């Protein structure tokens, strides 16, 4: 891809994603729709998905951001449902969808149909995370969906390789397939376990935030490449490293965390926007190669496969939710009884995405004997329609479905109370430490400065409790909201004076940047205390 089309893709997708934030429609859907429309504008180049770019260059950073934002402890607590979905469901969908495609689509061999089943089996990490953020799902449901989407790509890619080997005539056995799966899974986890400690050690020992964040940007690509080099799962290697680094992120300094959060938010925004736009832009490429499968028959195959993909997820999720409870008294005693509503949402939230398309485009043009790969164009078409169908139908209907089911969201009151209790305990520890330090003559401070330290600590402790209080009857703000608004106004007044002094040549630009940086940190602290 040339530079200008790439720049236009990034700029255009970012603009659409930004505009989507002002509408009730989720950004992924607008981006896909925009891609579909723009793909037929005269002069727009063909943006063909290259699996050699998508899988090693786009997938690792997207997985890394999703994994670092996830909770290792929450994922461990939901390990059984996550494993049943990310491994069990993907394998079940591969065979179920593959067999259905073999029955429905004429002249599609069973091995080629299984390739299709593996391609469309994994729900997408980007789509699941985007929807979960937008609709405010309950924390348990969000954890399960995120955990599934982090691991299922590894299962699907391995199943795809086994099915592809059989389809192209290289020969594949059940024993060989199981062996390859175990090698990829255990190898990927092993590579992640080996890399995570030295990478974290480097993060904590580098003294400059700029170097630490450069390492952060390189980490997902490095972990993925090392795992793939030894024929292990790069996906699992990235996820293991990211979960470990995210779990121990508190051990790096504050400057690194501030920069890293901003950098990765920008990277994720650009990549997610470009990925969904690329999905829509694939339509002309797909239709050009459709060949004999055209018209009403192709539309029938697409609708039928979409229904089968959706039904297959329901057929797996409900038994996987309730059968373990029926078979194990320990599970019944340890875990709350799941509701049918939560399982329904998990079943309906199986959107497919760019990984499925990238895998489909990696299908070779020819088989072992040199003949055309059987049904390749049809597989590409059905993958595309399944991705679009799940994103549009399920993505649009999920928010109203959650409202209709009256699924309980996160308990904000309970979460705020837990935060306030945690802050109170931390503040008491900080107060004891401050008094210990001030009792040492080497730490002697003038009384106003010592009182300022105590005031800052008290403010931080009280801020959370104030969010539980009553709101202002005139403005509707809590005391904490008013405090942050007034703090921003004061900081804004200071900032204006600094700029005026710089313009009048009373201070130089370097001093202005130093002063503004100090105000920025104060404003960020005032904002984060109430969020």
Asked if the model's pLDDT at residue 404 lies above 90, the reply is no
Angle at 337 between CA 332 and CA 338, to 5 degrees: 130
The dihedral through the CA atoms of 40, 120, 116, 268 has a sign that is positive
3-class secondary-structure state, position 372: strand
Distance (Å, whole) CA 443 – CA 386: 66
Residues facing residue 372 across a β-bridge: 366
What band does 197 get if pLDDT is binned at 50, 70 and 90?
very high
Mean pLDDT taken over the chain: 83
Nearby residues of 84 by Cβ (< 8 Å), 6 or more positions away: 320
**Could you give the percent of the chain with pLDDT greater than 90?**
24
Distance (Å, whole) CA 383 – CA 365: 16
Q: Give me the pLDDT at residue 50, please.
A: 77
pLDDT digits (tens, 9 = 90+) for 34-77: 988 988 888 887 777 777 788 888 889 988 998 888 888 888 88
Q: Give me the pLDDT at residue 312, please.
A: 96
Distance (Å, whole) CA 347 – CA 5: 37
3-class secondary-structure state, position 95: helix
What band does 227 get if pLDDT is binned at 50, 70 and 90?
very high
The dihedral through the CA atoms of 436, 441, 447, 452 has a sign that is negative
Q: Using an 8 Å Cβ cutoff, are 203 and 241 in contact?
A: no
Percent helix, strand, coil in the chain (nearest 5)?
Answer: 80, 0, 20
**Most confident by average pLDDT, 214-223, 379-388, 420-429:** 214-223
Q: How many CB atoms lie within 10 A of CB 244?
A: 20
**Could you give the percent of the chain with pLDDT greater than 70?**
87
3-class secondary-structure state, position 408: coil
Q: Give me the pLDDT at residue 306, please.
A: 96
Asked if the model's pLDDT at residue 87 lies above 60, the reply is yes
Tell me the average pLDDT across 432-437: 84
**Most confident by average pLDDT, 162-171, 182-191, 337-346, 448-457:** 182-191
Q: Give me the pLDDT at residue 189, please.
A: 94
Q: 244: which 2 tokens?
A: 């470990």
Q: Of 6, 30, 7, 8, nearest to 17 (Cα)?
A: 30
pLDDT digits (tens, 9 = 90+) for 282-309: 878 777 766 666 678 888 999 999 999 9
Residue 404 sits at φ, ψ, to 5 deg, of -65, -40
3-class secondary-structure state, position 364: coil
Q: Of 355, 325, 361, 327, nearest to 343 (Cα)?
A: 325
pLDDT digits (tens, 9 = 90+) for 353-385: 888 888 888 888 777 667 778 888 889 889 989
Distance (Å, whole) CA 112 – CA 104: 13
Domain ranges for the chain, please list them.
3-406, 411-469, 480-531
Q: How many CB atoms lie within 10 A of CB 23?
A: 10
Tell me the average pLDDT across 512-530: 73
Choose between 322 and 462: higher pLDDT. Answer: 322
Distance (Å, whole) CA 213 – CA 217: 6
Q: 56: which 2 tokens?
A: 């090693």
pLDDT digits (tens, 9 = 90+) for 142-181: 888 888 988 888 889 888 888 888 887 665 566 677 788 8
The dihedral through the CA atoms of 477, 481, 486, 488 has a sign that is negative
3-class secondary-structure state, position 471: strand
Distance (Å, whole) CA 188 – CA 147: 16
Q: Give me the pLDDT at residue 126, please.
A: 64
First to last CA, the chain: 42
Q: Does the 3-406 domain belong in CATH 1.10.357.10?
A: no
Asked if the model's pLDDT at residue 423 lies above 90, the reply is no
The one-character DSSP state at 26 is -
The whole-model pTM stands at 0.83
What band does 530 get if pLDDT is binned at 50, 70 and 90?
very low
The one-character DSSP state at 403 is H
3-class secondary-structure state, position 189: helix
Tell me the average pLDDT across 81-103: 94
Choose between 436 and 484: higher pLDDT. Answer: 436
């Amino acid at each position: 891809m040339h530079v200008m089309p790439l720049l236009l893709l990034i700029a255009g997708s970012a603009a659409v994603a930004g505009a989507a934030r002002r509408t009730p429609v989720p950004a992924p859907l607008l981006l896909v729709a925009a891609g579909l429309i723009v793909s037929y504008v005269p002069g727009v180049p063909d943006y063909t998905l290259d699996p050699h770019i998508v899988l090693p260059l786009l997938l690792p950073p997207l997985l890394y951001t999703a994994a670092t934002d996830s909770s290792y402890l929450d994922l461990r607590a939901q390990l059984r449902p996550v494993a049943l979905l990310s491994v069990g469901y993907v394998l079940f969908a591969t065979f179920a969808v593959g067999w259905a495609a073999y029955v429905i689509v004429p002249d599609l061999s069973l091995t080629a149909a299984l390739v299709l089943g593996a391609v469309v089996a994994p729900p997408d990490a980007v789509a699941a995370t985007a929807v979960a953020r937008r609709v405010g799902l309950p924390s348990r449901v969000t954890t399960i969906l995120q955990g599934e989407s982090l691991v299922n790509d590894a299962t699907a890619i391995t199943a795809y390789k086994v099915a592809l080997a059989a389809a192209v005539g290289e020969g594949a056995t059940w024993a060989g397939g199981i062996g390859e799966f175990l090698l990829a899974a255990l190898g990927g986890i092993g590579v992640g376990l080996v890399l995570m400690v030295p990478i974290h050690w480097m993060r904590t020992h580098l003294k400059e935030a700029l170097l630490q964040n450069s390492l952060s940007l390189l980490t997902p690509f490095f972990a993925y490449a090392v795992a793939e080099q030894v024929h292990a799962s790069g996906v699992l290697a990235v996820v293991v490293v990211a979960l470990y680094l995210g779990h121990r992120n508190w051990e790096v300094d504050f400057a690194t965390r501030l920069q890293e959060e901003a950098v990765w938010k920008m990277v994720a925004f650009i990549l997610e926007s470009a990925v969904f736009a690329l999905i829509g832009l694939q339509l002309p490429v797909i239709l050009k190669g459709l060949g004999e499968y055209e018209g009403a028959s192709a539309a029938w195959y697409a609708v039928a496969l979409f229904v089968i993909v959706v039904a297959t997820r329901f057929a797996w999720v409900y038994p996987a939710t309730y059968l373990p409870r029926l078979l194990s008294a320990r599970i019944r005693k340890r875990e709350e009884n799941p509701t049918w509503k939560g399982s329904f949402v998990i079943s309906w939230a199986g959107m497919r995405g760019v990984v499925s398309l990238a895998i489909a485009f990696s299908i070779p043009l020819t088989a072992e004997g040199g003949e055309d790969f059987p049904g390749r164009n049809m597989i590409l078409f059905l993958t595309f329609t399944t991705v679009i169908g799940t994103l549009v139908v399920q993505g649009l209907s999920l928010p109203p479905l959650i409202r209709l089911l009256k699924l309980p969201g996160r308990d904000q009151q309970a979460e705020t109370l837990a935060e306030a209790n945690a802050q109170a305990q931390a503040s008491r520890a900080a107060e004891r430490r401050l008094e210990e330090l001030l009792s040492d003559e080497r730490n002697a401070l003038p009384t106003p400065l010592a009182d300022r330290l105590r005031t800052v600590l008290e403010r931080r402790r009280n801020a959370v409790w104030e969010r539980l209080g009553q709101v202002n009857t005139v403005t509707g703000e809590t005391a904490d909201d008013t405090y942050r608004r007034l703090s921003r106004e004061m900081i804004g007044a200071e900032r204006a004076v600094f700029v005026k002094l710089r313009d009048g040549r009373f201070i130089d630009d370097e001093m202005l940047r130093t002063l503004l940086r100090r105000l920025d940190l104060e404003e960020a602290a005032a904002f984060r205390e109430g969020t």
